[in-house]
Structure 1
């Protein structure tokens, strides 16, 4: 493959494959209906090649300061239509520095900014009112994957997991295990992304408190895992780490128990479907489980109670305040007693609806592409450049623990099943540009 003959391009940059890759494939397939050829892959590819790619639509995963420097500014200067959604802003809603994720220069350079729902839309209008004409409430393709169509897409994977592991408790960590060693590692990471103003004492204090509490939450969750490991060896416990966790510390922890395993690969949706009960504390995965109508619980013991109201997951999901309550919820669910879960999520449905658009009848991926196509037409966008893969920088390393290797055959099979499950009237050919970067075009 050297030169492609289409001139209407959509670029879908992906930081964490478990979180974003499947939803970006869905968006690429919907884009085929509007005549786009899409490039979907790891973010490093786009950072290194934004100056070499033909101008088109760049769909970004956030609008922070570091992403402005890495890709939003150079893409905008080359005439790209820059849009996207903050992949990490759904769950957090009381963070004092959350407005810093909406970096003014990034919003200035963007053509449009999608929001998950009413809450984020109103928050953006309050924090950055000068760009309110750019905000579009559309939901997210990630939410589409939680609809009945999405559950059908993941069903074969979930059934395979069920055959392998049987009944199991799924523990979702939304904090690096490195936090157990102190705040220095995490603080440096946040400062490097320019999310926090280190000249602002209020933000520095909040950051310190945030990571102290995150460490407490992580310890409490691992204490629950230890309890099952020591007292219920008949219960399989699967831990899904934070996507940016390198796994070394966690591997040492789980080696103590025969019934505890750590899984680093694949999207969370089939694991949620296959699990008996999902356990977390302030994790977006719990919200996903609720939207799939699958039993989940947030663990908020007294030691972390003041941390709990920062996350919508802890408002929407049932709460366990003790280790015993978690154990009780697991064995009740195992016995088919789920009224404790279904009755709770009925009472919190209205709250959830404020935070995200969720409809099997009008998918967010369809809504997004309608808006993107409108932007394309209104801009009068015209591009005569062709995608020449021989001109791209494909020489960088292949190691990326946030985005494990995936084969071309697997991606083509995913695309074919997604087309069928979501009833998308297209035929798609997938080609590999380089490991973890794929081209989606119409056959």
Structure 2
């Protein structure tokens, strides 16, 4: 008898990725695919013991070269999408930063967010010949669709009850304010200044782009540090909720909040219910600007340190889908109109065309369904990928276990370490919590009644029927 390939779905940032990837897991399980979903790090630790299947990668940076090679040696195939493709730098920088020809050679199928993403990838000079690229949309786009917004209704109600009328500020300054020093653009000094040593976020960037981006992001972060207390002073009847990026060091925001009365710093749960519960969201070139637009929530891009190259050529999509304010007075005026109900979500035909160009599957069949269609069409529901030779498998097994051992030792080294970073981005979650999420999806879509959840190991879950 043949067995379907196991769909292996790693999750790096739980608050950002889990809900959408869980929806994909349910669709896959309902259509006969066993699924293993959970912490990306722990999936890598157990790669050699997982059933042979298809691993869903979220990026193709050269940092993944060794893991991709190990996965292929173990007999797994790799399918991928580009998590950061909606907000990306100019093409030449994007290619060197986010794509590796070595890594991409190990990918069997590539799923893109929309037409813009498709064209960007097709123009990659080192694109492997005959790599299938599928315009399916992304499960994170599914979560934004009207029929699924009620998935967050209880959270939205609770947030409104807890915080009343609030303005959400989303920050994305990991490049200059990293949770651990090694993930920023440059390894910072103890006082937060840059060194010449490149961090994980800057690998693949040209010196000129990285230097310019660091100084620009640093200036924007300083403008937001001034913005937060200024908003509290100017708008005494609303709460200011600051939501730092999951990979940021939150301490600077807690220090600001300690000097204020109505500023809260919270990084909890998916951003979607926070957007839906807020009066408006303020950002600077953050993907949440697109998410707010898709949800019908007014968003303001604060551009007090405007640089056309970085703010439009790099982060132009969420900025162009938002109201744009170039100083505090402009922002305060726009925010006042929104709070008084005089102004809703930024609209217009140009914005509609823009989001349609970037984001597929906003209507009709879910992106999740379209992705599983591709897997079925290529026979993954009928059989596992071909087994590696014994010698290749044993080499992959040895490398996998060696890498896991070294990574776990590295995670536990003294000081700011990867274990704390992992637990920050993927806190413990129970089977009951996963089941509750699936039940909510099932109620909204009238499906998934046969889907079951079992704990496979710490941080890993099996989804099946």
TM-score tier, shorter chain, comes to 0.7 to 0.9
Equivalent residue, structure 2, for 1:364:
367
Identify the residue that residue 183 of structure 1 maps to in structure 2: 194
Partners in 1 of 2:267 and 2:48 — Cα distance?
A: 33
| Aligned equivalents of 2:458, 2:291: Cα separation in 1 | 29
Q: Please state whether the residue corresponding to 1:21 is helix, strand or coil.
A: helix
* 1:66 aligned onto 2:51: no
Q: Which residue of 2 aligns with 1:319?
A: 324
Name 2:169's counterpart in structure 1: 171
Q: 1:52 to 1:377 in 2, by over 3 A?
A: closer
Contact 1:10 1:38 in 2 (8 A): yes
Counterparts of 1:68-107 in structure 2, within 5 Å, are: 68-69=65-66, 71-94=67-90, 96-100=92-96, 101-107=98-104
SS across alignment from 1:111: strand
Q: Aligned to 1:334, which of 316, 336, 339?
A: 339
Deviations 1:260-305 (CA, angstroms, capped at 9, x unpaired): 1111121100000000001101000110010111111111125445
Give the structure 1 partner of residue 204 of structure 2: 195
Q: How does 1:153-168 map to 2 (within 5 A)?
A: 153-168=151-166
TM-score under structure 1 normalisation? 0.88
Structure 1 residues not aligned, in runs of 5+: 197-202, 385-391
Whole-Å separation in 1 of the counterparts to 2:427 and 2:324:
33
Aligned length: 421
- Match in the other structure for 1:412: 435
- In structure 2, which of residues 398, 402, 426 is the aligned counterpart of residue 403 of structure 1? 426
2: CA distance, partners of 1:334 / 1:184 = 42
CA drift at 1:377: 4.3
**Which residue of structure 1 lines up, in the alignment, with residue 394 of structure 2?**
none
Shift of 1:306: 4.4
Change (3 A) 1:139 1:131: farther
Give the SS at the match of 1:112.
strand
Is the partner of 1:438 in helix, strand or coil? strand
Q: CA deviation at 1:93?
A: 4.4
TM-score scaled by structure 2? 0.84
Unaligned runs of 5+ in 2: 179-190, 388-400, 413-418
Matched residues in 1 for 2:160 and 2:348: separation?
A: 25
Q: Distance in 2 between matches of 1:146 and 1:63?
A: 25
1:297–1:317 CA contact under 8 A, matched in 2 = yes
Contact 2:76–2:385 (8 Å) recurs in 1: no
Query: What is the alpha-carbon root mean square deviation over aligned residues?
Result: 2.7
Counterparts of residues 190-339 of structure 1 (less than 5 Å): 190-191=201-202, 194-196=203-205, 203-309=206-312, 310-311=314-315, 312-339=317-344
Is the CA contact (8 Å cut-off) linking 1:170 and 1:272 kept in structure 2? yes
Query: Comparing 178-187 with 153-162, which one deviates more in the overlay?
Result: 178-187
Structure 2 distance, partners of 1:73, 1:401, is 28
CA distance in 1 between counterparts of 2:305 and 2:59 reads: 33
The whole-number CA distance in structure 1 between the counterparts of 2:306 and 2:136 is 37
